[in-house]
Amino acid sequence: MIRISLLIALVAGIAALAITQLRVAENIKTLTGERDQFKADSERSQREALDAKRQAKDATAAADQAKKALETTKTELAAASEKADQQEKRANELAARVDKLTQERNDAQAELAKWKASGLTLEQITATIVENKKLVGENNGLKEENKVLGRRLTQTKAELDLLTGTIDKVPLPPGLKGKIIAVDPKYEFVVLDIGEAQGVLKRGEMLINRSGRLVAKVRILSVEPNRCIANVLPNWKQGEPMEGDVAIVGL
């Protein structure tokens, strides 16, 4: 009986062991499958991470390339714009020159048409131009002579009026102004930088002042084209005239 019990217990133990081994084997199989799946998932995740990293690097490189291309495009656009402005400016200048030359051509053609209408030959036209220049020169010379004669006539009339008592001093042009350029203290005369061309007349009188202060009064003794000599009037002398003093017409 004891043997039978031991045998039954042994069989039961072997059965329990077998069942346990089967469960362990199944657990091992399950764990092995889970391990393999985890490994596969981990490797896939690593591959995806590497792919994502590579894609991000490629995207960054593409962005840098696009940025460089944009900067290059901006530079080229600025250069093209500046070149276009220069070309437009040059075109405007050329257009202005064309307009000017066209106007000059039209004027020349109109002038030529006038000469042709006169019936004169080229030699006659040339001679006419030369003669016209000669007459203009002679006319200018006559104008200058008339100015000189006019000043001398004024001088003569003033002296005559002075002698006849019509006036008591020779009038000078209002606003006439000059400076002393030389002084002779011994003989009491000064040289002024104004003369016949400025309207100075002999026996005209001027006041000498320095910094707004009256220094003396002078009477014109002799007149040249652009300077004159004047005597210092003793009764009006309040100081010694000096080079640089200003001479003005008194009231």
Q: Output the 3-class SS for 177-227.
A: EEEEEEEECCCCEEEECCCHHHCCCCCEEEEEEECCEEEEEEEEEEECCCC
Give the distance from CA 196 to its chain's centroid: 44
> What would the mean pLDDT of 235-245 be, rounded to a whole number?
93
Q: How many CA atoms lie within 13 A of 102 on its CB side?
A: 6
Q: What is the mean pLDDT of the chain?
A: 78
Lowest-confidence range among 85-89, 188-192, 243-247?
Answer: 85-89
Q: How many CA atoms lie within 13 A of 186 on its CB side?
A: 0
Give the confidence band of 17 by pLDDT, cuts at 50, 70, 90. low
Q: Which of 146, 126, 150 is nearest to 138 (CA)?
A: 146
Token pair of 108 as six digits: 């020349």
**Cα 79 from Cα 49, distance rounded (Å):** 45
> What would the mean pLDDT of 111-125 be, rounded to a whole number?
69
Give the confidence band of 126 by pLDDT, cuts at 50, 70, 90. confident
Burial class of residue 204 (count of CB atoms within 10 Å of its CB; 0-12, 13-18, 19+):
buried
Task: Examine the pLDDT at 203 and tell me if it is beyond 80.
Answer: yes
pTM of the model: 0.43
> What would the mean pLDDT of 121-143 be, rounded to a whole number?
67
Q: Which of 238, 248, 245, 166 is nearest to 205 (CA)?
A: 248
According to the model, what pLDDT value does residue 224 have?
92
**Cα 205 from Cα 221, distance rounded (Å):** 10
- 227 versus 174: the higher-pLDDT residue is 227
According to the model, what pLDDT value does residue 24 have?
64
Cα radius of gyration (the chain): 60
According to the model, what pLDDT value does residue 89 have?
83
> What would the mean pLDDT of 224-229 be, rounded to a whole number?
93
**Cα 249 from Cα 122, distance rounded (Å):** 57
Helices (H), the chain: 2-118, 122-164
Give the confidence band of 241 by pLDDT, cuts at 50, 70, 90. very high
